[in-house]
Amino acid sequence: MRLKMKITKFAKRFRLKTVTIWLLILSFLITSPAGIAFAKENDSEDEFKAVWISYLEFNDRLTDPKTGKKGFTKERFQDMIDEMFDNVVDLNMNAVVVHVRPFGDAMYPSDYFPWSKYISGTQGKDPGFDPLEYMVKAAHDRNLEFHAWINPYRVTSGTTDINTLSKDNQARKWRTNKSERDDRYVLSFGGSLYYNPSEVWVQSLIRSGIEEIVENYDVDGIHFDDYFYP
């Protein structure tokens, strides 16, 4: 019985010493230059720390508080972007992911999609400046990556009325075409309209829209957001 108690006490002491030794080793690793280097390596500049800026942020400031008119002027848009991107830097982020095509539209001059109403106040109306050009420059001036965020399939939300679309909107053109085949290019579901990605012509439209972004702007990435598709 005494022998058993001695063995038990020894085992407890041994475990305690083992734990103490491991704690000392861990402390050494953390405080040593090697440990510090390891921590810095994990906090490398390659870490992607981004803020997503959606069309909703643009919509919130679309109306000029002084005039009550909808739509950005060049100066008011640039002031908004400067404020947003400065906040991103203050948050120690290194990238912005910004909506440039939320509803089959474009926040830049496009050969394939109409101007976004979230820039000019009316879909298809030219605001007289290039928002994407300025956003890319403003981001890079602050050492931020700029990623263009698109919703490739969503055309409308909460309505199937094509009269809400500009006349140069490809979705409207396909919906008003009498060809039965064209009816498959834009689908109605749940009270909204969507481009049909199974159709080759739709695939070509979306691909062309992406190509014009990467060819004309120094973007660091394209975010292909197909969440809004039934």
Q: What is the pLDDT of residue 144?
A: 98
Considering the domain architecture, whether residues 145 and 220 belong to the same structural domain is answered as yes
- Nearest-Å Rg of the Cα atoms of the chain is 28
Considering the domain architecture, whether residues 146 and 201 belong to the same structural domain is answered as yes
Considering the domain architecture, whether residues 107 and 129 belong to the same structural domain is answered as yes
Q: What is the pLDDT of residue 226?
A: 79
Q: What are phi and psi of 149, to 5 degrees?
A: -105, 120
Considering the domain architecture, whether residues 6 and 56 belong to the same structural domain is answered as no
Q: What is the pLDDT of residue 28?
A: 41
Structural domain includes residue 179? no
3-class secondary structure, 137: helix
* Number of domains observed in the structure of the chain: 2
Q: What is the pLDDT of residue 55?
A: 97
Structural domain includes residue 136? yes
Q: What is the pLDDT of residue 179?
A: 80
Structural domain includes residue 184? no
Q: CA 152 to CA 175: how far, in whole Å?
A: 17
Structural domain includes residue 163? no
Prediction pTM value: 0.79
Structural domain includes residue 219? yes
Dump the DSSP string for 142-192: TT-EEEEEE-SSB--SS---GGGS-TT-HHHHHHH---TGGGGTEEEETTE
Considering the domain architecture, whether residues 9 and 108 belong to the same structural domain is answered as no
Q: Give the model confidence (pLDDT) of 148-187 as tens digits.
A: 999 999 999 999 999 999 999 999 999 998 887 788 999 9
Structural domain includes residue 114? yes
Q: What is the pLDDT of residue 124?
A: 98
Domain that residue 35 falls in? 2-40
Q: CA 202 to CA 212: how far, in whole Å?
A: 16
Structural domain includes residue 69? yes
pLDDT by 10s per residue, the chain, length 230 = 443 444 344 444 444 444 443 444 434 443 444 433 333 444 556 799 999 999 999 999 999 999 999 999 999 999 999 999 999 999 999 999 999 999 999 999 999 999 999 999 999 999 999 999 999 999 999 999 999 999 999 999 999 999 999 999 999 999 998 887 788 999 999 999 999 999 999 999 999 999 999 999 999 999 999 777 77
Considering the domain architecture, whether residues 121 and 210 belong to the same structural domain is answered as yes
Q: What is the pLDDT of residue 31?
A: 41
Q: Give the model confidence (pLDDT) of 30-45 as tens digits.
A: 344 443 333 344 455 6
Q: What angle do CA 201, 119, 157 make, to 5 degrees?
A: 55
Considering the domain architecture, whether residues 113 and 57 belong to the same structural domain is answered as yes
